[in-house]
């Protein structure tokens, strides 16, 4: 069923929770752990917590006035039971909420806050000291509220004290800006994906209908809620279905197995690298699915699941239902592959669940079987980017193909049975374990080293992570590929040691983005106009693979 054919659905985040709370007031909505101590909120309690927070925001002047949106809020936290309360409470106040990555460094977090002009930051107790530093340095941030077990005058309890748990007197429209999650453009500069209530309630309702979840499933949420997948394609789907969502603060095979055994998790959203980690841990793999019980449903996304890994998972866990879905921050779910087709269509991303087409170079839809750029249109697509003109790279205008189509940047085809097959990316983004790594950010770090004259960063296949970054480097003192690179040092600089250069990059950016190897070359291949041909370099490493994505 496509978005265009989809019937009535709650039009705001607050309404989505309200409907489920009316149906299941006593059922556990979210479960988490703080220092090993179980925390849980029923649907009724989560509903009241959201109202109380919305009323506190209204009292403090952050809520939506009669005209225009509320003031910008932000949240910086690992998964915690307070996170959904903040998410739904901000939504009911009509205050757009920016979800800041806990994996970003301090400068990156500051940039995200400044990008949206956040005035209030909800921050986990474990990150409160850093938040106070951000508050002192920010031109817009006025206040922090400590969640996740904080106490004292900055705590969530202090902020909501005296606020009623009745429906707030705020008129929220389905088309109001509701949320920003962060991805990046091809330059690696953060891009804030701005969505409305309607955009993401529709996306979550589509997923709730498509993903083959049972009414008694308990969902394990290993994906961070600051990520579009964890927030909108798992938590909100669970809330829509009235299921219990178990929030894991961090990922590890044994911790996930604990959640299956201790909390009765039966359904989970994992990226392929997490599936590999589970299978590589025989004890955890056995605990996850024991005697046909335990985990019964697995939703895979973040990166295509290699056919070999799919076979391995189905062999290790007979009877496990595996659904794969394909989506993006800008549009959430685009297609899903039902469990019944896991072996029949293993190389497919599934059937479209929104209006989708494969476009030619002029933006015209192509017939089945033809290869082109995947695009979609409808109420599920983003409002725009916050700071569209900042950092370069593709902006919203670059993604629009006319006639309402939004380009994905992915190349694919739709077969005669209506299944989408992804072939390659038109962008240079490296998807490693479900995380986007942007080559330009890694290249900038390489260029800071005095011995690097030129470089090209690209993705190479990896059995665990899907792909990982690698680099070809022209060192100073080597025949250059043409033109001085940014930050190039004099030719007298000593050629770097590979391991030392990789460690240098790891000191400049988050470690998981570092190149896994560096190859020193004399020149880099170029087009006639001098642009480095990364596709030519990359192709050598993907030979013999059944996918180049």
Query: Is 60 exceeded by the pLDDT of residue 72?
Result: yes
Inside any domain, residue 520? yes
pLDDT in tens, 195-248: 999 999 999 999 999 999 999 999 999 999 999 999 999 999 999 999 999 999
Residue 220 backbone dihedrals phi, psi, to 5 degrees: -95, 120
Task: Let me know whether 475 and 406 are in one domain.
Answer: no
Q: How confident is the model at residue 104 (pLDDT cuts 50, 70, 90)?
A: confident
Among 15-29, 93-107, 297-311, 344-358, the range of highest mean pLDDT = 15-29
Task: Let me know whether 396 and 496 are in one domain.
Answer: no
- pLDDT at residue 549, as a whole number: 63
> DSSP class of residue 547?
-
pLDDT higher at 464 or 146: 146
Inside any domain, residue 423? no
Domain of 136, CATH number, reads 3.40.50.12780
CA distance 313 to 332: 25
Inside any domain, residue 5? no
CA distances from 180 to 46, 112, 129, 196 (A): 22, 10, 24, 9
Inside any domain, residue 417? no
- pLDDT at residue 186, as a whole number: 35
Task: Let me know whether 441 and 383 are in one domain.
Answer: no
CA distances from 160 to 83, 147, 177, 347 (A): 15, 11, 23, 50
Name residue 192's beta-bridge partners: 182, 386
Closest CA relative to residue 238, chosen from 326, 187, 299, 180 = 299
CA distances from 248 to 33, 77, 149, 150, 266 (A): 8, 12, 16, 19, 14
Query: Is 60 exceeded by the pLDDT of residue 484?
Result: no
* DSSP conformation letters of 246-304: EEPSS--HHHHHHHHHHH---EEEE-HHHHHHHHT-HHHHHHHS-TT-S--EEEE-SSP
Average pLDDT over every residue of 361-366: 93
- Cβ(168)–Cβ(92) under 8 Å? yes
pLDDT in tens, 375-424: 999 999 999 998 765 444 557 888 888 899 999 988 889 999 999 998 77
Task: Let me know whether 333 and 459 are in one domain.
Answer: no
Task: Let me know whether 497 and 376 are in one domain.
Answer: no
Closest CA relative to residue 170, chosen from 267, 286, 273, 89 = 89
Query: Is 50 exceeded by the pLDDT of residue 485?
Result: no
Inside any domain, residue 416? no
Task: Let me know whether 334 and 455 are in one domain.
Answer: no
Task: Let me know whether 435 and 392 are in one domain.
Answer: no
Inside any domain, residue 198? yes
pLDDT in tens, 324-336: 999 988 998 899 9
Task: Let me know whether 404 and 499 are in one domain.
Answer: no
Q: Exposed, middle or buried, 129 (CB in 10 Å: 0-12/13-18/19+)?
A: exposed
Task: Let me know whether 349 and 471 are in one domain.
Answer: no
**Last residue of one domain, picked from the residues 411, 442, 464:** 411
- pLDDT at residue 273, as a whole number: 80
- pLDDT at residue 189, as a whole number: 57
- pLDDT at residue 187, as a whole number: 36
> DSSP class of residue 188?
-
Give counts: helices (H), strands (E), the chain: 17, 26
Q: Domain span at residue 498?
A: 430-541
Q: Which helix (H) or strand (E) holds 474?
A: strand 466-475
Q: How far apart are the first and last CA of the chain?
A: 27
CA distance 473 to 520: 5
pLDDT in tens, 120-179: 999 999 999 999 999 999 999 999 999 999 889 999 999 999 999 999 999 999 999 999
Task: Let me know whether 201 and 63 are in one domain.
Answer: yes
**Last residue of one domain, picked from the residues 352, 379, 411:** 411
- pLDDT at residue 168, as a whole number: 97
- pLDDT at residue 443, as a whole number: 87
Average pLDDT over every residue of 304-312: 83
Helices (H), 60-177: 82-93, 106-116, 128-137, 156-160
- pLDDT at residue 546, as a whole number: 62
Q: How confident is the model at residue 191 (pLDDT cuts 50, 70, 90)?
A: confident
Task: Let me know whether 91 and 203 are in one domain.
Answer: yes
3-state SS, one letter per residue, for 436-449:
EECHHHHHHHHHCC
CA distance 27 to 456: 52
Domain of 526, CATH number, reads 3.30.300.30
Inside any domain, residue 335? yes
Task: Let me know whether 303 and 445 are in one domain.
Answer: no
Domain count along the chain: 2
Average pLDDT over every residue of 248-257: 95
Query: Is 60 exceeded by the pLDDT of residue 6?
Result: no
Query: Is 90 exceeded by the pLDDT of residue 39?
Result: yes
Inside any domain, residue 546? no
**Last residue of one domain, picked from the residues 411, 445, 471:** 411
């Amino acid at each position: 069923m496509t978005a265009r054919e989809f019937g009535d659905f709650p039009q705001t985040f607050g309404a989505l929770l309200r409907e489920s709370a009316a149906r299941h007031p006593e059922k556990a909505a979210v479960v988490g752990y703080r220092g090993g101590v179980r925390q849980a909120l029923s649907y009724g309690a989560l509903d009241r917590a959201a109202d109380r927070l919305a009323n506190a925001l209204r009292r403090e002047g952050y809520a939506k006035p009669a005209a225009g949106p509320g003031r910008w809020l932000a949240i910086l936290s690992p998964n915690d039971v307070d996170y959904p309360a903040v998410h739904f409470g901000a939504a009911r106040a009509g205050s757009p909420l920016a979800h800041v990555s806990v994996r970003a460094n301090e400068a990156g977090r500051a940039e995200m806050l400044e990008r949206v002009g956040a005035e209030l930051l909800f921050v986990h107790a474990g990150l409160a000291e850093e938040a106070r530093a951000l508050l002192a340095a920010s031109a817009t941030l006025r206040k922090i509220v400590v969640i996740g077990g904080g106490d004292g005058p900055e705590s969530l309890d202090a902020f909501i004290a005296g606020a009623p748990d009745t429906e707030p007197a705020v008129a929220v429209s389905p088309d109001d800006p509701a949320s920003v999650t962060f991805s990046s453009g091809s330059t690696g500069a953060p891009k804030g994906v701005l969505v409305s209530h309607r955009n993401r309630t529709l996306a979550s309702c589509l997923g709730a209908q498509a993903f083959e979840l049972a009414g008694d499933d308990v969902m394990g949420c290993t994906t961070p809620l600051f990520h579009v997948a964890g927030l909108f394609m798992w938590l909100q789907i669970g809330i829509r279905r009235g299921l219990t969502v178990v929030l894991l603060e961090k990922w590890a095979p044994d911790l996930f197995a604990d959640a299956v055994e201790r909390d009765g998790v039966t359904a989970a959203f994992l990226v392929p690298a997490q599936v590999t980690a589970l299978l590589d841990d025989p004890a955890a793999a056995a605990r996850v699915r024991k005697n046909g019980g335990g985990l019964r449903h697995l939703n895979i996304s973040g990166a295509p699941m290699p056919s070999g890994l799919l076979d391995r998972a189905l062999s290790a866990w007979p009877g496990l239902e595996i659904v794969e879905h394909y989506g993006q921050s800008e549009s959430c779910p685009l297609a899903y592959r039902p469990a019944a087709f896991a072996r029949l269509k293993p190389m497919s991303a599934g059937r479209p669940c929104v209006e989708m087409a494969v476009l030619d170079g002029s933006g015209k839809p192509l017939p089945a079987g033809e290869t082109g750029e995947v695009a979609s249109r409808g109420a599920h697509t983003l409002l725009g980017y916050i700071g569209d003109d900042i950092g370069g790279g593709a902006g919203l205008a670059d993604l629009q193909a006319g006639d309402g189509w939004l380009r994905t940047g992915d190349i694919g085809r739709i077969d005669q049975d209506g299944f989408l097959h992804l072939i390659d990316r038109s962008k240079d983004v490296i998807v490693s374990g479900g995380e986007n790594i942007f080559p330009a950010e890694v290249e900038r770090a390489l260029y800071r080293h005095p011995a690097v004259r030129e470089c090209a960063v690209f993705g190479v296949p990896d059995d665990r992570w899907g792909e990982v970054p690698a680099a070809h480097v022209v060192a100073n003192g080597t025949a250059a590929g043409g033109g001085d690179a940014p930050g190039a040092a004099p030719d007298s600089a000593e050629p770097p040691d590979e391991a030392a250069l990789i460690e240098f990059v790891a000191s400049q950016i988050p470690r998981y983005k570092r190149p896994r190897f560096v190859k020193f070359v004399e020149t880099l291949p170029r087009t006639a106009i001098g642009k480095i041909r990364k596709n030519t370099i990359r192709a050598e490493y993907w030979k013999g693979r059944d996918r180049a994505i």
